[in-house]
Structure formats: C-alpha cells, structure tokens
Chain A
Amino acid sequence: MNDTSGLGDDAQLITLDVNGTSYEVITAPRRTLVDVLRHDLRLTGTHVGCEHGICGACTVLVDGLPSRACLMFAAQAEGARITTVESLADADTGELGDLQRAFSDHHGLQCGFCTPGFLMLAQGFLTERPEASKEEIREVVAANLCRCTGYQTIVEAIDACATARRAQRAAGTEETSCN
C-alpha cells in the first residue's frame, strides 16, 4: 500500500461511517474528508473540482445534508453518517437508482465529472423536500457547477425523478387505503 496518508507525529485514529460501513482510518489532522474518502477508502466517485467550496463536485451527504467534502477535515466527520455516490445503485445487483436513471434518460451528464456532486445534492434535497417544484430544484442546482450541460437537463432529470417519486408514493397511499 503506498503511503498517501501524510502521517506525522500528530496522526490520529478516527472512525468514519460511510454508506453504512464503519471504517477505521489513521490520518493526519489536516487531511480533508474528500481526500480520505478518495485516497484512503478508495471511494473515488466523489470528485475534487476547486478545493474551495464553490463547484460542489465533492458534495456528499453528512447526516443526510449535502455538504462540501473539500471544506471538512476528515476528523470533523467522525460520528456522522457520510453518504457518497457509491451508495445510490443497488448494492447487490448494481442496478441504477431512480435518480441515476433520470440523469441518464435526460442526458443530465456529459463528461460525468460534476455528476456525483449533483446526484448527492439532489438526493439530499429531495429527501428533505420531496414536494419541491421545478423552480425550487433549479435554485438548488445553482449550488453546483457543471461546464458541459448548461444545467437544463440536470434540472429536468431531478424534476422527473421527484415527480415519479411523488406519483409512486401517491399510488402506494391509494393502495394502502384500498386495502
């Protein structure tokens, strides 16, 4: 294993809960969460675009809320639930989740570099606000940068996913009431 941990005398042992798995990591205090996710845990789906919190390519969920993993030290994430893009597909079958399918259907990605950040941003937002309108979705999408798509298809993908989830829930409720 090559040494990318930047360990010094001040190395510390931390425990990170990522996608429901508990990891013990020995790390230097100055290492960011995104570097530990990518280079120590080898979860390279989360990307680094600016390292100053603007572009959002590194967006992950911290206790369910979209957060910039480049602006947090890994040690600060101890005790929190971290969720990354690797969690979105079915763990057993690899089948894409509904949000991922919507991005593909609407061509909401081209080079794919910003995509994990947008997926996690949308996943966190729709969980918090399932009734979001397209305009609200656009506002949230404006939190991250994409250089390929012009954003329209990202907004459409998230809106389509939100609409489908609402329809599914409504159908589920109906079914329940019929029973």
Chain B
Amino acid sequence: MTSVTENQLVGRSVARREDPRLLTGHGRFVDDIELPGMLHAQFVRSTVAHGLITAVDLTAVRRVPGVVAAFTAADLGLGDITARLDRPPAEFVPTAMPVLARDRVRYVGEPIAVVVARDPYAAEDGLEAARVTYESLPPVTCEEQALAPGAALVHEEAVRNTLVDVSLFATEGIDGIFENAPCVVRVEARTGRQNALPLETRGAVAQWDAREEQLVVHTCTQIPHQVRTVASRCLGLDERAVRVIVPDMGGGFGLKCVVGREEIAAAAAALRLRRPVKWIEDRKDALSASFLAREQHYTARAAFDADGRILGLDADVVCDMGAYSCYPFTAGIEPLMAAGEMPGVYKVPAYRVRGRAITTNKAPTAPYRGVSRPQYVMVVERLMERAARELDMDPLEIRRRNLITDFPYTGVNHITYDPGSYLESLDLCEQALKEAGWYDRQAAARAEGRHIGIGYSCFSERTGYGSAAFAARKMQVVPGFDLSEVRMDTGGAVTVTTGTMSHGQSHETTMAQIVADALGVDLAKVKLHQGDTDRITYGWGTFASRSITVGGSAVRRAAVKLGDKLRAIAAAEWGVPPEETELARGRVRRRDEPGIELTYEHLADIAYLKSHLLPEDIEPGLTATAAFDVTTDGTFSNATHGAVVELHEGTGQVEILAYVCVEDCGVAIHPQVVEGQCRGGIAQGIAGALFEQITYDAQGEPSATSFMDYKVPTAHEIPDVTIHHLETPCAFTETGAKGAGEGGTIGAPAAVLNAVNDALRATGVELDTTPITPETVHRALTSPALEQTR
C-alpha cells in the first residue's frame, strides 16, 4: 500500500454529498430544465393492441392553437432501434423497433406521431385532434395465445411468436436421475407483469447546438453512452455530434437502462425544428406504454435423494416480453438470466433448462431490478420447501445440506462462484428470528387459531458482470468494462469522471470516498461528474449492480495512478526513486525521512504552472485515466431473508409482521447506503409478491393505467427491516466490494411466499404464483381442509 489510511473513509457512513441540493429543492431533474424558445412534445399513441395503420391524419392537429408541428414516422424518416444476439435463427429472432410506428402497431400506447406545441397543455390538445385509422388484427395477449398453433403473429418473422428459445446444459443422464430419484417435487409458478416504477417518469429535453454542431439531449437514462449511440444511428449523425447529458434522476430500477423511442423522437423533432423540445411522460403512459417486466411462467421439477440432497433440476421458463426487443439487451434479458443462473446457491449436480422469450401485443419489457432472479429464486425456494415437506425434513436443514460451502465453486451451469457466506447468513437469519421470539409467538398464535407463518429465502446475486459474463450471453454489443478519469486542478482539488450513472445510489458520495482514500485527501476535495458523454469517453452506465464493483474499481485505479504521478513529481524534486515516496494526507513524503514532504498544492503548481521544472519523462498536468473490467464470471453477493407474516381470515390480507435480512456484499463502502439499497429493494420485492400487477383485457387494453389500479405499496404495507451484515471481501475488485443494488428485490418474493405457505400449512393449500392476492388467501383460509382441523 502506498497510501496512508489512518483516516479511511471507505466503510464509514459519511454525510451524503447529494443530500443538500435534493432536500432544498435545488436538484435538477429533466423537467426542471427550461431553455429559451423551448417547445413541448407529446405522442399520438395506438388505441388498439394489434393492427395495421391505414391512415394517420394530423391535419386537424396542426390547426390546434399552440401546436407548432406534428410528425409521423414518414415525416422524420428515422432508422429503427434493433438489438441483437449472436445466436442462430433457431435460438434468436431479431426484430426492429421503429422509433414511431410506421405501418403496424403492436400494443396499446405504441407511439405513432409526435405533436410539438408551445406548451404542454396545447400539446395535449393536439393529441385529441389526431385521427388514426386501423385495420385490426387479432391481439395476442398471453402465453397460451402466443404459442397456440395457428396463432396470429406479432412479428411475421417470429414463428410461434418466439423471439428467444434456448435449451442449455442438459447434463448427461438427467432423465435417469429423475426416474430413479426417491423424491421428485414440482412447481408451476407464474409471476405478474410489473412496472419498475421510478417515481420520476421518463423525459428528455433536446436542443441543436449550432456552434458545437451537436444535438444535446438531456435525458433521464441509466445508460447515457448507449442512448448516444442509438440517437446518432437513428438520426444519421456522427456519434460525436450527439451529446447526452443526464441530470438528477428520480429513480430508474432498470426501466431507464434501455433506449426509449420517445427520447429519440423528441431529439429528432428538436433537430428538425432547430428549437429545444421537451418531452415529459405522464403517469398513464409510464404505466401502460413504457417498459414493463417480470411476466414469467416456470414449470420446474427437482429430484432429491432420501437425505434431502438435490440430484437434479429441470426447468422450462417462458418470459412474456411484450411487443419488442429492448436495446441493448434484447428480449433475451429475462430468459437468458433465468436459464443461466437458476441453480443459484445450491450444489446442483444435474441441470437442464429451456428458456424462451415470447412476443405479445403488450408494452415491451426492460430489465427490472433483479432481472429474473426474484422469479427463479422463488421457484427454487419453493422446490426446497416442497421437498422438505415430502421428506419430512426441517426446511432450513434441507437448505443447509445443499448450500454451496466450498469456494470457489464451479456449478453445473459453468459459472464459478467466488467466496460468500451462504451458510452463515442462513444461520444468522434463523437465529435472529428465534431470538426475537417469532417461533414462540407463531406457536402461541396457532394455538389461538391465527395464521402466522415464517419463511426464508437463500440466494446469491451475481454483481459486476464484466464483458466475459455478457459475452457468454452472446449479446452483439457486450457491456462490461468502465472508465474513469481522475484529475487534480492547480489548487489541488480533485475531479472524478465515471461512465456509471447514479440515480439514487449515492455515487457522488461513495466514489468520492474511494478516491479520497486512494489519494489521502478530504472528501470535500473530491467531486464526481457522471452522465455526460462529452466528459468521459465511454461508459456502460448503472445497472446489474455493477457501479461499485466495476466503476468503483476503475475510479480507484485512476486515483492510484494520479497518486503515482504526484509521487513521481515529488521524487524528481528530491532526486530519489519514486519507490522511496508515499502519499500522506494531501502530501507526498519521503519514506526514509517522513519529515520531508511536499503538498499536493505545491506539486500541482509544478505540474501546471512551472512545468519547466518537470523532468523530460513526466508530462505536464495531473490527469490519470483507467479502465476496469471483470474478466472472471463476476462476484457474487449473497443474503438470506426471513419474513414473518400473518394472514387475516376476514379480509385475506397478508400482513408482514417482521422482516430480517442478513446480507453480504463484501466491503461496504458506505454501510448506510447499503442498508438503504436493501430496504428499498425489499420493498419492491414485497410489491411484486403481494400487490403490483399490470393487467390487460382480452383485447389487449391495459387495465392498470393509474395508481388507482396499480397498487404501489405505502408505509402501511412495507414493514421495518432488520439488517445484519456479513463481510466476505471480493478478491478481484479494487475495493473488496461486491454489488448491493438488487439483492433486496431478489430475496423478498421467495421469503414472503414461503411465509404465506407456512401460515397456510393447515389448509393443505400451497401457493406458487405472485402477486398473492387477498382473494387467493381468503379462499385458502376457507378451504375444507382447514375446517377439518378445527
């Protein structure tokens, strides 16, 4: 180590750098941006789920007072948004998503034309005057319809409405294993379609800058560089002629880590009109016409020996991806995650999986926090519980017999898991619920005829997917690495840029902690800049819990390099080798004589303002750049969640009485932030388990288009969460950290579902599908089996 760390900031919950502006109303979100001469865009959207467009008449729109322009696809002539996998046609069918629908619409809410007006109210008036006529086609609204022989096709090129169909692993002899196993259990599970629901809807402000010859697009995206790529290609501009700037973001959760059609259309309108154009999505469009996720159907079975050791896992996963493949991930995002990682934390010796993405006449899907892992963890944990019941074993004992304990462990899915605390987290979670008296209270409640259940989920979460992991999915554009630049100005203040894009995760604080430690400067000396494609050459943004693992490692490497340069300048001043120097609290000092030191301000003065003093082999300036990629399979955070629920007979309500999370994300840069990620993630997992579902009628009309119909849980429904930390540092990230963004969401549905099933034990009813509605619970609690036990 070259830096002195007596005042180390990593590991401390320092005051968040983001807070003061956000607490005083001085954040700058996209709708806060106001440019001179700015116009406002809204979209004419399809009112049918599936049809051919026979005419789009915008004549009346253009006459509406305040409307400045209205454009169809033909008016703008934009390229399509197309994401691809490098897989054979039998495994993947690429489909083009036009920025505006041309001749065909595939979901209610699909954008057909953009109306630009002097103010947002006039733009809405304009929408009312649009006349679109359709020739209706039969809507495909569910898996059953999509896969039926002779079904209408959402995309003519996608036979059986199937975009992705992969069969993987198929361990030799797996059929024999199932035939001969003493215990085989099955689960058929469905999970509801959800909206990731950032509280800030999507939006963009675009403006042509004639002087810079650049289209400047302010947009709330998790992936600024990828928006730049798509915008430049759709618009026929050089990539350098597009600058994407991301202001403060009101959440994303994956919904904003794909390129949206409307942000490109708004940019095209601004380019055409040579005036700034703002588009702010309303909540109805956000719920029905943005990106959705999570509608999956699992048919799974697992074989066990008589001692409860798992012998094999066999699963079929069908993901309803809606009308289009998202960029850059494609419709493979959900099935490939599920198929690749389903064995999870257990030692599964034999595995076979088929994963499919089907296309339907519903709004398309994007990754949503956890991506398939909340679903397959739920299915695997249900299989564990069912096997425990079949074999009359304790449900935690059966998990203990199967959890991976020897690391690194290479699974049947060809993934190598780095060290974690799978068993330890389960033990601690059980102990926490026992010590809090929940097992005693459950017994007492049962004696009173009340329905209290305790449920667990064990899981790990691959974080820091590097290019190797994404390449294994055969994406045509392969995410993975990230870049950072750290520079010091003439006065010793430090600027950090990164290709990641915080939207609630506190990177302005945590990245600054990493840099401040590496250089030995105060936190206040360091400022992070992110979300500007002109400030950093490239980046992959923030998703997949990658920012601290990948971005944080790049940031630390760049900071260390800058420190090396400071040492080299000081060493030259002293005429000693750089190895004989070290960094210490804003100074470089001599190792042999620590009393001899030079301040960073002094060295910066030399580097910039007295560069004639520098030896020939040291370039002027104080700038360092670094890249980081994960070349292994990634690093796995892990956790065990424990939930206690009570089912209320009269109402069918599921009340969560207690929730414990034992998590291990390696070195926690900022423990309070990690806890915040856990709690917020758990709330979203509970939302999926009990409340939220985007529904459609038989015609494909969405029926949850406001918060009256889409039940987002409040402080009423979300319990306090007790968090315990374990720390298994990652060996190959620069800080020892693993990712922490998604785990909460991954573990919660399984824990809640298992707790509900535990509470239903006396009824003989087992539930495997989410959301668990009050109606389902009420029906289970009035089942005949329960009556017999009374």
Contact = CB atoms under 8 A, between A and B. Distances in A.
Interface of A: 1-6, 8, 28, 30-31, 35, 38-39, 42-52, 54-55, 57, 84-86, 88-89, 94, 96, 100, 103-104, 107, 109-116, 119, 138-139, 141-155
A145 B672 contact: no
B22 A112 contact: yes
Interface in B662-708: 672-673, 675-676, 679-684, 706-708
Given A44-B25, A110-B680, A152-B718, A39 B707 contact: no
Given A50-B283, A104-B19, A152-B720, 11 more contacts: A35-B120, A48-B31, A49-B201, A49-B250, A55-B712, A86-B24, A94-B24, A96-B23, A107-B13, A145-B199, A150-B718
A112 B121 contact: no
B503 A142 contact: no
Nearest to B123: A6
In this complex, the member of A30, A52, A103 whose beta carbon has the largest number of chain B beta carbons within 10 angstroms is A52
Contacts of A116: 25
A147 B19 contact: no
Contacts of B316: none
A109 B707 contact: no
Closest 8 pairs between A and B when the two form their complex, measured CB to CB: A45-B25, A113-B250, A112-B22, A111-B504, A150-B679, A150-B683, A54-B707, A110-B504
Contacts, number: 190
B118 A147 contact: no
Contacts of A109: 19, 22-23
Contact of B25 (A86, A145, A151, A155): A86
B201 to A, nearest CB: 8
A52 B672 contact: no
9 contacts: A4-B119, A6-B120, A50-B283, A100-B24, A107-B675, A113-B251, A138-B716, A152-B679, A152-B721
A3 B121 contact: no
Contacts of B684: 147
Contacts of B198: 111, 113, 147
A115 B119 contact: no
Contacts of B18: 112
B32 interface: yes
B250 A4 contact: no
Nearest to A53: B707
B251 to A, nearest CB: 5
A155 B201 CA distance: 25
Contact of A113 (B26, B29, B505, B718): B29
Contact of B23 (A112, A144, A148): A112
A43 B25 contact: yes
Given A55-B199, A96-B20, A109-B19, A154 B676 contact: no
Contacts of B785: none
B19 A148 contact: no
B721 A147 contact: no
Contacts of A6: 66, 118-122
B650 interface: no
A137 B122 CA distance: 40
Interface in B14-43: 15-16, 18-20, 22-29, 31-32, 34-38, 40
A85 B676 CA distance: 23
A48 B31 CA distance: 9
Nearest to B22: A112
Interface string B98-119: 0000000000000000000011
B116 to A, nearest CB: 13
Nearest to A112: B22
A51 B504 contact: no
B253 interface: yes
Contacts of B25: 43-46, 84-86, 116
A2 B65 CA distance: 16
A142 B715 contact: yes
B282 A111 contact: no
A146 B119 contact: no
A8 B680 CA distance: 45
Nearest to A155: B715
Contact of B119 (A3, A89, A104, A152): A3
Contacts of B40: 4
A154 B250 contact: no
B680 A148 contact: yes
Contacts of B683: 147, 149-151
B248 interface: yes
A51 B283 contact: yes
A31 B34 contact: no
Contacts of B19: 103-104, 109, 112
B199 A49 contact: yes
B651 interface: no
Contacts of A138: 715-716
